[in-house]
Amino acid sequence: MTEKLELLEEHRSFDGVQLKYRHYSTVLGCDMTFSLFLPNKEEFETPPLVWWLSGLTCTDDNFTHKAGAQKKAAELGVAMLMPDTSPRGDGVADSADWDLGQGAGFYVNATEEPWARNYKMYDYIVTELTAIARDEFGLTGPESIMGHSMGGHGALVIGLRNSGRFCSISAFAPIVNPMEVPWGLKAFDAYLGADRETWSEWDATKLLVEYDGRTQTPILIDQGTGDSFYDGQLQPAKLAEIADEQGYPLALRMQDGYDHSYYFIASFIEEHLEFHQKYL
């Protein structure tokens, strides 16, 4: 158990610093890691914060190592916070399947056993890790949120459920309608139980239909046309159609030939950071 923040890595990067920490999460009941990029302190004393939520099987390292976001973040003076994707450890429930259990937290608060004890990723991000960002690092300024695939689902749900908190939301190839696709059906049935009425608060399409926030947080979605998961698991056009009906500010950009990988993310991450900077 790591009761205090433990610095695991520190790297100078593009006039900023890339950090990795471990700490004990009281919400999740296990040790967790997260990564944090901070731009030059002397130039940007209280930078705005962009959250990044990663996808299935990933950790916080995937984004920091592969996305190439540090250069643009340093230039714009933006901090970035990257949580892990699930609780982890020997005492944490898991599955033999890659798309359920550790590495696949789906950013929900599980209500079903054996998952309910640890799988509270929504509360972890919205409350516990938020408090760490503000209290330990002074990141008390404006915030935006973005993510990829399962993390895109998380960014959309957290952004829409916390109206007014985030200045903007963006996603790469997000799961927008988990109640109706295989990845979401499997995870929601395990984590949330058989009562589908309880699932809608974790589905971006349902949240957007019922969205009554006075602040319409702008959304940007990039989707590759070469993504093998596009038709069966992602279906971002569903969310774009609802946004159009609702008059909600959502832009869906179809990117020709791009797949589901970090090559896709690295190709457009600077544009996403520039998008967030406009609102931050």
3 pLDDT above the threshold of 80: no
1 pLDDT above the threshold of 60: no
Top-confidence residue, 3 or 95: 95
Q: Is residue 1 a part of any domain in this protein?
A: no
- Which of 23, 153, 260, 276 is catalytic? The answer is 260
Residue 227 known to be catalytic: yes
Query: HSE (CB half, 13 Å, CA atoms) of 233?
Result: 21
Mean pLDDT of the chain: 96
Residue 2 — very low, low, confident or very high, per pLDDT cuts 50/70/90?
Answer: low
- Which of 203, 227, 272, 276 is catalytic? The answer is 227
Q: Is residue 20 a part of any domain in this protein?
A: yes
* Residues 151, 106: Cα–Cα separation, whole Å: 7
Residue-wise pLDDT tens digits, 128-145: 999 999 999 999 999 999
- How many Cβ atoms from other residues are within 10 Å of residue 186's Cβ? 17
What is the CATH classification number for the domain harbouring 13? 3.40.50.1820
Count structural domains, the chain.
1
Residue-wise pLDDT tens digits, 25-55: 999 999 999 999 999 987 787 899 999 999 9
Residue appearing with tokens 């789906």 = 106
Residue 168 known to be catalytic: no
Residue 212 — very low, low, confident or very high, per pLDDT cuts 50/70/90?
Answer: confident
pTM for this predicted structure = 0.96
* Domain span including residue 163: 6-278
Q: Is residue 149 a part of any domain in this protein?
A: yes
| pLDDT attached to residue 46 | 87
- Which of 86, 149, 168, 170 is catalytic? The answer is 149
Residue 31 known to be catalytic: no
Residue-wise pLDDT tens digits, 158-203: 999 999 999 999 999 999 999 999 999 999 999 999 999 999 999 9
Q: What is the mean pLDDT of residues 5-34?
A: 97
